[in-house]
Amino acid sequence: MLLGYVYKLRPSDEQAVKIDNWLDMLRSSYNWCLNDRIEQYNQQYVCGDYCDLRTKSEACALTCFVSKNGASGEPWKLDNSELEIQGECCLLPYNLNNLPYSGKTPRRSAGGIQITQLPILKISRPWYKDLDSTVLQQNIKRLDTAYKNFFEGKGFPNFKNRSNFRSFTYASGIRVDKNKIYLPKLGWMRFYNSRPIPDGFKIKSVTVRKKADGHYVSIRIEDNSVPDYIPLPIERINTAVGCDVGIKKLVSLSDGSQIKNPRFSRNKKMRRRLKIRQRSLARKKKRSKNRKKASNVVGRLHQKISNQRTAYQWKVAHKVTSKADLVVFEDLKVSNMKKRCKPKLDEATGKYLNNGQSRKVGLNRSISDAAWYELRLKTEYVAGKLGKRFEVVPPHHTSLECPECHHVDSPNRDEEKFLCSVCGYAADADNNAARNIKQRCLDKFNIKLTLKPHIKKDKSVRRDLPEPEQLTLGLILLETPTCQSTQGKRRYVSARNSKRSQPGNLSKQLSLFEDIKDA
């Protein structure tokens, strides 16, 4: 089992400065390796030295490749036994391009070639010797992961700057002793031990991350003797709950209940606070110390919002998972929902027309503030941890389909109300969508629930009002209320510092010259 524990570090001033220097050097190395791969891809058919058009100077063949046909650098990973030149064993295979390839030796990856060049990097730039070797290797593997995501359909790797490169990873040499952690070439460092690491787990890797409010360490631990979380089998599912996410209400459940959305970054108070601090930041002189301080203030506020959202989502995930054995979400493509509107071009004038993008900005911000996908991941993790099952279903027409007659029509929904135009079924639109989400999952796996959860009836949606009773003047009895008729509605409160246990009229009429005690 793999687990991740996050703690806040308490580095000294020297250690904090050293971490910042490491981040700068690692960012420079990352960008150089990325540029090396891009340049090699562009010059993969060039043999020998060539002229770089940007620098207008002579350049040699690069030491990295991305394409399968590239042959620069040292593409083959050969053992010492395979290299025998004139009867002698070659320990460092530097000139391998002219050697025959037998087809048995695996081909090196781009990351493997760049990792072998790290000793040369430390010789040419001695200040890189201060960095731990595993940190430099993990930095190149980070670029390999970016290229892997690109080949799977995600975006191409970008060059990093100080705002989006704020972490590095250790692979070995870490020790933890109570509230202290040892990081190679950084030394012992204190941290806030909010929860102890369980016994039997070994540390696999450690990631140091710089945030607006300080430095954090993420410890990845593993214990092979503990099995991973196993989802609940379908045959043992007795109850299920469907979840529909939204903006006004964060989650609407199939049992009729709803969970509100606090809107941590979009509420009136937080928007005003952000506006004031961002305005103060804009007034500062660029590249000044005051501007850097104001930027840190804005960053800490965003970090606070993120922490509030994360804590609230964990509570919501536990609350939703505790309701049933099966939790069902809709498979929303959140990134597609936040895409820009297509431009509209007037063919007559050649000008662009209003496409509604300015109005969609507020919707995109509200979707980002709700963080639906993060809530889905947290709910899936909590469900697996508690031994329950989590599933997702397609979201098409979940809010337009009637759960009784299964009629799909756009007029069925009127903002937050749902009224079927065929059978007349009425309910809240979000709770109705959650009910359809739940039913789709049950039909997908052919699940028959043995226990039906209690469905909370919605009183806000009324289809028809009862007819008022017909009253006539002859049936109306006018009666003056008396003390006996209103005795059950009166409040009996014993007065302080008084002998009477019940309020009421005094037994004797008082005059102006008599005291209450005499009565």
Active-site positions? 244, 330, 430
Distance CA 401, CA 420 (A): 8
Q: Rounded to an integer, what is the distance from CA 168 to the centroid of its chain?
A: 20
Token digits of residue 45: 């058919």
Distance CA 182, CA 190 (A): 9
Q: Quick one: which of 271, 270, 298, 272 has its CA closest to 284?
A: 298
Token digits of residue 250: 């964060």
Amino acid at 422: V
- Helix %, strand %, coil % of the chain (to 5): 35, 20, 45
Strands 352-353 and 389-393: unpaired
Distance CA 290, CA 466 (A): 67
Query: How would DSSP label each residue in 339-374?
Result: PPPPPEE-TTT-PEEP-SHHHHHHHHHHHHHHTHHH
402 class by beta-carbon count within 10 Å (0-12 exposed, 13-18 middle, 19+ buried) = buried
What are the CB-based long-range contacts (under 8 Å, 24+) for 307-313?
308/262, 308/264, 309/264, 309/265, 309/369, 309/371, 309/374, 310/374, 312/262, 312/264, 313/371, 313/374, 313/375, 313/378
Amino acid at 450: T
